[in-house]
Amino acid sequence: MSIKYKSSSGKADHTSKKESTTDNYLKDFDPRVYLEKLRNDPNEDKKFRFSLDGLHEVFSGGKCFGKRLLDLGSGPSIHSVISASRHYDEIYLSDYVPQNLSILADWWTGKISHMDHAIMYCLDMEHNSQTVAQRNQEMRQKIKGILQVDVRKSNPFSPNHLPPFDAIISSFCVDSATTSLEDYDNATSNIPAMLTENGTYIFTGAMDKTYYSVGGVNFKYPTLSKNDIYQVHRKHGLVIEMFKEFQNEDIYDGTIFMAVARKAVE
Ligand SMILES: C[S@@+](CC[C@H](N)C(=O)[O-])C[C@H]1O[C@@H](n2cnc3c(N)ncnc32)[C@H](O)[C@@H]1O
């Protein structure tokens, strides 16, 4: 089981099993296949580590802290908030797909512990003597809600209204939720209203891709260049202050990135 990304260059994706693509996450996204990939695939592990390393670097730098943190499009996993959890008091997980929310709820209520290897990896980076069980517990106490979200809506939490967050982490969410540059632009326009002034937006995504696959299903992806990403965020008042790229052609046909943007004060 694996997740692979197909490049816009048309270079072969040796694991693609279906020609058809979908943007139907409600029907086609299988959280168990996705979690297997996060646990098992050593090639994917290098990309996974790029995310965990980047988030550790961002949150150990001393510039990102506050009260309220949102993980936008968590999928079925809590790994995106492990490093951040030390620096915020209230954490909200979210996703569009109910089956992902249900796995997150099972973790929150202690029924499962599904990302212990990622927690251990982050504790090592922090030189932290906490046990994995203690960190799980600390994180569970800080989680204040698991929310259904649709980033394509102008109020992504509709019909609910939530106060803005000091920081939003979004890992492969806005690009997964959209299929063209125009859609990506529209969805990104919904981010600033969810942030406090000067709030921080930490986002990860892939460049120059047309789709990625989870197990046998290919999900459509907008084809984005670095320039597109900078321009779209600037247009919506999100000024990118840090941009890191990961490339390893042996395992990955393309580039993934992590960026940190600050909401401009109006
Ligand atoms: C590639 S997964 C990323 C999950 C997790 N953030 C990670 O980094 O492993 C993409 C996620 O985007 C979510 N998603 C798809 N459409 C969405 C939408 N319209 N609004 C919010 N999230 C969406 C999917 O349910 C899925 O969990």
Distance 183 CA to ligand 1 centre (A): 15
The residue behind tokens 């909401």 is: 263
d(CA 168, CA 135): 21
pLDDT in tens, 184-226: 999 999 999 999 999 999 999 999 888 888 888 888 889 999 9
Go through 82-105 and write b for each residue having 16 or more CB atoms within 10 A of its CB, e for each that does not: bbbbbbbeebbbbbbbeebbebbe
d(CA 115, CA 145): 19
Q: From the CA of 74, give the closest atom in ligand 1.
A: 6
Distance 129 CA to ligand 1 centre (A): 32
Is the pLDDT at 136 greater than 80, yes or no? yes
30 lines ligand 1 (CB under 6 A): no
- For the question of an ipTM over 0.90, the answer is yes
The residue behind tokens 């099972």 is: 106
pLDDT in tens, 12-50: 343 444 445 778 999 899 999 999 888 876 666 888 899
232 lines ligand 1 (CB under 6 A): no
3-state secondary structure of 93: strand
The reported pTM is: 0.92
Question: Max Cα separation, the chain?
Answer: 48
Distance 173 CA to ligand 1 centre (A): 4
